[in-house]
């Protein structure tokens, strides 16, 4: 039996990097004392979610991964607590900017990085202004906590990404996230839809999912977003094992038996009975009838 104690942390963020990291460190240390081996942190936790505004002055926030102080600090924390930490950052690579996840193993070693593949573009979430399309392809990291497939926020809406990572060997899927209200549609609450999509990934792939969202009201120059938290952990059937509320700084945990889950994944038949010869449509350009001007 390989039992994994998985956790997700959700906090509110200001533009004080060290204060945000102090809060996260406190929560990681506390949940590590409770046995957590994998702790998923939210997307772009160093500061406020600057993508609310279309202002390229925010590009100064991006830093190279080499010598990145937050990576160094989180690596020291991982080593101290014996936890695997996926760390979400605004990366500068020469003239290119990426929304990047760095995977840090329980001994503090940086295992590599993943650059967000799917970049959204809508009022309040103007990420195409800031981030280039990720060029790493999907990544699965072999960690002390198991084989972890990592996506970032908008990636979680794409079943192709989840299936690809499980085919690559992922035993758990993790999604650092920043999602909340829609400035253009103030009455629209996507929280339940958001959760159900990822629950579907878990059930379809017989693979647990961990999503860590942020909370709080963040105001930009033009837009305001109310992040709705609700971080959660599923089992391999998509059932929620743990869930945070919408407004509280929280840490949630769940126990996962990776060997038992692997046996269920092998026996259920969804991978045995796949028909890749029929999936050519997935490789074609999206039909115009399914596109809107906001999808550009």
Residues sharing a CB contact under 8 Å with residue 82, sequence separation 6 or more, in sequence order: 32, 37, 106, 107, 144
CA atoms within 13 A on the CB side of 214: 29
CA distance 48 to 46: 7
116 has catalytic annotation: yes
In the predicted structure, residue 295 carries a pLDDT above the cut 50: no
Query: Among the options 46, 116, 171, 218, which is catalytic?
Result: 116
Catalytic residue (choose from 43, 46, 127, 218): 43
Question: Taking 50 as the threshold, does the pLDDT of residue 296 lie above it?
Answer: no
**Residue 89 near residue 102 (C-beta atoms within 8 A):** yes
What's the pLDDT score for residue 149?
Answer: 98
* Residue 166, pLDDT score: 98
Tell me the three state secondary structure of residue 118.
coil
Higher pLDDT, 223 or 9: 9
CA distance 229 to 216: 8
| 75 pLDDT above the threshold of 60 | yes
User: Does 13 qualify as catalytic in the annotation?
Assistant: no
The residues, any chain, with a CB within 8 Å of residue 1's CB and separated by 6 or more, are 257, 259, 260
Mean pLDDT of the chain: 96
What band does 222 get if pLDDT is binned at 50, 70 and 90?
A: confident
The first and second tokens of residue 110, run together, are 């940086």
pTM equals 0.96
Beta bridge partner(s), residue 141:
148
Closest to 227 in 3D by CA, of 206, 208, 250: 250
For the cut 80, the answer to whether the pLDDT of residue 293 exceeds it is: no
Which of the four pLDDT bands, split at 50, 70 and 90, describes residue 292? confident
Catalytic residue of the set 153, 171, 182, 218? 153
C-alpha torsion 205→36→175→256, nearest 10: 10
The answer on pLDDT for 187 being more than 60 is yes
Average pLDDT over residues 119-124: 95
Contact present, 165 and 206 (Cβ < 8 Å): no
Tokens 């709705």, residue located: 228
pLDDT score for 221:
87
Any idea how long the chain is? 296
């Amino acid at each position: 039996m390989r039992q994994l104690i998985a956790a997700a942390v959700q906090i509110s963020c200001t533009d004080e990097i060290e204060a945000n990291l102090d809060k996260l460190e406190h929560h990681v240390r506390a949940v590590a004392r409770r046995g957590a081996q994998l702790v998923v942190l939210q997307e772009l936790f160093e500061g406020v979610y600057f993508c609310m505004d279309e202002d390229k002055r925010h590009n100064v926030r991006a830093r190279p991964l080499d010598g990145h102080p937050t990576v160094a600090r989180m690596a020291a924390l991982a080593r101290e607590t014996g936890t695997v930490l996926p760390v979400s950052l605004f990366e500068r690579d020469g003239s290119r900017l990426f929304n990047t996840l760095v995977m840090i193993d329980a001994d503090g070693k940086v295992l590599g990085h993943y650059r967000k593949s799917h970049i959204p573009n809508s009022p309040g979430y103007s990420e195409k202004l800031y981030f280039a399309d990720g060029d790493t392809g999907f990544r699965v990291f072999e960690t002390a906590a198991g084989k972890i497939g990592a996506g970032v926020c908008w990636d979680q809406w794409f079943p192709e990404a989840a299936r690809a990572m499980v085919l690559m060997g992922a035993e758990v899927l993790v999604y650092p996230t920043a999602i909340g209200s829609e400035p253009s549609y103030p009455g629209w609450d996507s929280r339940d839809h958001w959760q159900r999509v990822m629950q579907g990934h878990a059930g379809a792939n017989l693979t647990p999912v961990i999503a860590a969202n942020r909370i709080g009201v963040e105001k930009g120059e033009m837009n305001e977003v109310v992040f709705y938290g609700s971080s959660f952990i599923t089992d391999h059937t998509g059932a929620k094992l743990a869930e945070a509320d919408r407004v509280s700084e929280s840490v949630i945990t769940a126990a996962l038996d990776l060997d038992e889950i692997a046996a269920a994944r092998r026996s259920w038949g969804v991978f045995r009975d796949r028909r890749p010869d029929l999936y050519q449509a997935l490789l074609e350009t999206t039909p115009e009838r399914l596109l809107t001007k906001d999808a550009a």
